[in-house]
Amino acid sequence: MIRSVLVANRGEIARRVFRTCRELGIRTVAVHSDADAEAPFVAEADVAVRLPGNAATDTYLRGDLVIAAALSSGADAIHPGYGFLSENADFARQVAAAGLTWIGPTPESIDAMGSKIRAKELMAAAGVPILDVDPATAKATDFPLLVKASAGGGGRGMRVVERPADLERELAAAKAEAESAFGDGTVFVEPYLPTARHVEVQVMADTHGTIWILGDRDCSIQRRHQKVVEEAPAPGLSDLTREALHTAARNATKAVDYVGAGTVEFLVASVPGQDGGIEQRPFFLEMNTRLQVEHPVTEQVFGLDLVAAQLTVAEGRELGAPPTGPVGHSVEVRLYAEDAADDWSPQTGVLRAFEVPEGVRSDSAVESGSVVSHFYDPMIAKVVAFGDDRHQAIRKLDDALRRTRLHGLVTNRDLLRGVLADEEFVAGRVHTALLPERIAAWTAPVLTTEQRERIVLAAALAQARLASTTSPTLSRIPTAFRNVPSQPRTRRYTVAGEEVEAAYTATVRGLASELAQVVSAEPHRVVLEVDGVTESYDVAIGDDWVDVDGPHGSLDLVPVPTFVDPADVVAEGSLLAPMPASVMSVAVEQGQSVSKGDTIVVLEAMKMQHTIAAPVDGVVTELTATAGQQVESGAVLAVIESEEQA
């Protein structure tokens, strides 16, 4: 019987496992880096053990430190979560050797499926269709190709190659990224099928020969080969295709004597059928020997707890009869701290507010006041909605995202709402290239010009009201009141780098605006009326920020100061760090001539590499970045004087 579980992970998956452990009466142990010392998952554990350092290689990837933490804290089992050491067979062996229970598959199964190359060989032997191309003999007609890391996942070590001339360079780049991310630079190549669907099957098996096939999930909406939206069951599959997927998943599970929770992933491509029509054909991609990020959608349609099932298997007990289902439909979105409109640049800093409304499931790594650092993955939460059917689940999820209070960092929330409103997605016509195709529409502003203007007005009115409350005597008279006003008062803000302005007047009766009738204005709440429709806005005001939540959406506003400190002015031609990051390499020297698009500096943040390129032809007149350096957001990395400036 397992009595105390250490979760060798962080963030939302640690909190997720702790939740089930508490329900089952199991003591919980967290391990944490210095950067995560104040994180919610640490506070929620019964006890916590510090892993000195910040980088994953110094902390969460140090199996020896994790096992030592388990032994010193009295844990008798380790749950690996996902990522980090979850698919490391040597770590699983070390856990068992230390006398601890490993909550996962056997090391032999992890080895068998840990190498995607070996896994494909096993699946081919089991009669499961696979995709494969030998890069040494690839012909022009084989392109485009996809280079993938054999030991990888999450889109790292993956490159799309459109032309034969690019293959060697992209192979080298993928190997380097795979070596950095996984300690294994082995890569392989397969045909790139951009309009195929990414469909996976959840399996659960025990040591008594029981195998549960827990339906399927569609994960086709992806950015940079990383999943963004997942749902169960996968929509639009024929009964024949669904049966083929489930049979292949069962065969894969049996082929490696699998035990525990696992996911068998497939590409489902539309190919010519024998009768001359089009049929859906699944091709094996990989088997993930762990719990998946998207497991909540399966839990909701089957009404079960997959973590509890993992614990049952780890204790050597039987799973019993499989649950009935699926019933209803579930859709999950991943909230990332990133700017989808700016090449997915990760965002870091303090999350001032994070409040998800009731009626949906939220598995989050954060809460209001949490700090999002550059050391780890940018996913901050998963929001999951269940409905009687797919349309109901989509509608509930979009409404929950609209009403979520989320301030302090740029996130992909508007992109997610764009996906959920897209007619192709709603119709279930999804594929892995849909996001790149629709990115312009999905990153377009969610708010209309009029809606945004009213939100900005609410911010200005709340700030004006706050200013007037500083004097008890004049607390009912708005600030800037004049008996004979000559013109409206204005307040300016920046929103996503764009400057906006709100105008209002102050009378003895209160505040007024030509944009809307001001029903009431208080520092934390403003009520406006437009064409007989009343709208309420919740406002939070800080020293250098104003957050507003209204009926149509939210905005983070930064007040524009009347005067600018000359020290804050950045020299023309400066290349700035877009986020806190580590400098991986510097490709130029001071005084060197560069062309537009040339690599200047390569940064690493949130497990992704980011290239800072020359914006113009010119000369590097200043170079402040050095390899290995930690830089803050906005730091000057280099200054390039353009040919026109010269």
Same domain for 14 and 99, yes or no, is yes
Q: What is the pLDDT of residue 472?
A: 55
The candidate with the shortest Cα–Cα distance to 458, out of 553, 369, 354, 532, is 553
What average pLDDT is seen over the chain?
91
Q: Does residue 113 have a pLDDT over 60?
A: yes
Residue 56 in any domain: the answer is yes
Q: What is the pLDDT of residue 198?
A: 97
Q: Does residue 158 have a pLDDT over 70?
A: yes
Give the residue, 488 or 425, on which the prediction is more confident. 425
CATH number (domain holding residue 171): 3.30.1490.20
Q: What is the pLDDT of residue 479?
A: 54
532-548: pLDDT as tens digits:
999 999 999 999 999 99
E strand or H helix at 362: strand 361-364
Structure-token match 């312009």, residue found? 440
Contact assessment for residue 201 and residue 246, using Cβ atoms and an 8 Å cutoff: yes
Q: What is the pLDDT of residue 118?
A: 83
165-191: pLDDT as tens digits:
899 999 998 888 888 777 788 888 888
472, burial (CB in 10 Å: exposed 0-12, middle 13-18, buried 19+): exposed
Residue 120 in any domain: the answer is no
Looking at residues 502-508, what average pLDDT do you find? 88
E strand or H helix at 499: strand 498-507
Q: Does residue 291 have a pLDDT over 80?
A: yes
Q: Would you state the torsion angle of the CA atoms of residues 235, 133, 177, 89, taken in this order, to the nearest 10 degrees?
A: 80
Give the chain's length.
646
How many domains does one find in the chain?
6
Q: Alpha-carbon distance 217 to 199, whole Å?
A: 6
490, burial (CB in 10 Å: exposed 0-12, middle 13-18, buried 19+): exposed
pLDDT band at 244 (very low <50, low <70, confident <90, very high): very high
CATH number (domain holding residue 440): 3.30.470.20
pLDDT band at 638 (very low <50, low <70, confident <90, very high): very high
Q: Alpha-carbon distance 196 to 237, whole Å?
A: 13
Looking at residues 357-361, what average pLDDT do you find? 97
99, burial (CB in 10 Å: exposed 0-12, middle 13-18, buried 19+): exposed
Give the pair of three-digit tokens for residue 65: 């430190």
Residue 370 in any domain: the answer is yes
Q: Does residue 568 have a pLDDT over 60?
A: no
Same domain for 348 and 374, yes or no, is yes
Which pairing describes strands 338-339 and 329-336: parallel, antiparallel, or unpaired? unpaired
Same domain for 186 and 255, yes or no, is no
Q: Does residue 131 have a pLDDT over 90?
A: no
Cα-based distances in Å from 165 to 119, 161, 191: 29, 9, 16
Q: Does residue 154 have a pLDDT over 80?
A: no
| Long-range Cβ contacts of 535-538 (<8 Å, 24+ apart) | 535/454, 537/454, 537/455, 537/458, 537/462, 538/405
The one-letter code for the residue type at 168 is: E
Same domain for 430 and 341, yes or no, is yes
Q: What is the pLDDT of residue 564?
A: 57
Residue 124 in any domain: the answer is no
Contact assessment for residue 480 and residue 489, using Cβ atoms and an 8 Å cutoff: yes
CATH number (domain holding residue 533): 3.30.700.40
Q: Alpha-carbon distance 95 to 372, whole Å?
A: 30
pLDDT band at 125 (very low <50, low <70, confident <90, very high): confident
Q: Which domain holds residue 168?
A: 132-191
Q: Alpha-carbon distance 246 to 237, whole Å?
A: 12
Looking at residues 523-527, what average pLDDT do you find? 97
Residue 340 in any domain: the answer is yes
Residue 508 in any domain: the answer is yes
- DSSP H helices, 367-509, are 390-403, 413-421, 423-426, 434-442, 449-468
Give the pair of three-digit tokens for residue 224: 């940079």
Give the pair of three-digit tokens for residue 139: 């012909």
CATH number (domain holding residue 629): 2.40.50.100
The candidate with the shortest Cα–Cα distance to 525, out of 588, 445, 477, 461, is 461
Looking at residues 14-29, what average pLDDT do you find? 98
CATH number (domain holding residue 94): 3.40.50.20
Same domain for 311 and 341, yes or no, is no
Same domain for 198 and 313, yes or no, is yes
Does a cis peptide bond (omega within 30 degrees of 0) precede residue 233?
yes
437-451: pLDDT as tens digits:
999 999 998 899 999
Q: Does residue 151 have a pLDDT over 80?
A: no
Residues 6+ apart with CB under 8 A from 575: 600, 601, 612, 614, 615, 636, 637, 638, 639, 640
Residues facing 336 on adjacent strands = 379
Residue 54 in any domain: the answer is yes
Give the residue, 52 or 477, on which the prediction is more confident. 52
463, burial (CB in 10 Å: exposed 0-12, middle 13-18, buried 19+): buried
Contact assessment for residue 406 and residue 555, using Cβ atoms and an 8 Å cutoff: no
Q: What is the pLDDT of residue 569?
A: 56
Q: Alpha-carbon distance 75 to 71, whole Å?
A: 6
User: Within a 10 A sphere around the Cβ of 493, how many other Cβ atoms?
Assistant: 21
In percent, the amount of the chain with pLDDT more than 70 equals: 94
The candidate with the shortest Cα–Cα distance to 262, out of 114, 121, 130, 104, is 104
The candidate with the shortest Cα–Cα distance to 75, out of 104, 98, 108, 59, is 98
Residues 6+ apart with CB under 8 A from 511: 461, 464, 465, 478, 504, 505, 518, 521
Angle between helical axes of 295-302 and 306-314 (0-180°, round to 10) = 90
E strand or H helix at 113: helix 107-114
Give the pair of three-digit tokens for residue 231: 């749902």
Q: Does residue 478 have a pLDDT over 80?
A: no
Q: Is the backbone of residue 558 left (phi > 0), alpha (psi -120 to 50) or beta? A: beta
Residue 115 in any domain: the answer is no
Task: Of 19-28, 284-293, 320-329, 608-617, give the lowest mean pLDDT range.
Answer: 608-617
Domain boundary among 191, 212, 227: 191
Same domain for 182 and 227, yes or no, is no
Cα-based distances in Å from 60 to 63, 126, 173, 461, 514: 7, 35, 25, 47, 56
Q: Alpha-carbon distance 596 to 590, whole Å?
A: 16
The candidate with the shortest Cα–Cα distance to 201, out of 86, 284, 79, 114, is 284
Domain boundary among 155, 173, 191: 191
Same domain for 339 and 320, yes or no, is no
Same domain for 240 and 217, yes or no, is yes
Predicted model pTM:
0.85
In percent, the amount of the chain with pLDDT more than 90 equals: 68
Domain boundary among 277, 308, 324: 324
The candidate with the shortest Cα–Cα distance to 104, out of 309, 304, 410, is 309
pLDDT band at 483 (very low <50, low <70, confident <90, very high): low
Same domain for 271 and 163, yes or no, is no
Residues 6+ apart with CB under 8 A from 564: none
The candidate with the shortest Cα–Cα distance to 54, out of 617, 646, 604, is 604
Residues 6+ apart with CB under 8 A from 385: 330, 331, 332, 359, 360, 361, 393, 394, 396, 397, 400
Task: Of 16-30, 296-310, 570-584, give the lowest mean pLDDT range.
Answer: 570-584
Same domain for 293 and 210, yes or no, is yes
Give the pair of three-digit tokens for residue 581: 């990051």
Task: Of 83-87, 268-272, 543-547, 612-616, give the lowest mean pLDDT range.
Answer: 268-272
Same domain for 536 and 611, yes or no, is no
The candidate with the shortest Cα–Cα distance to 121, out of 290, 289, 284, 267, is 284
Looking at residues 505-522, what average pLDDT do you find? 91
Structure-token match 């804290």, residue found? 73
Contact assessment for residue 306 and residue 295, using Cβ atoms and an 8 Å cutoff: yes
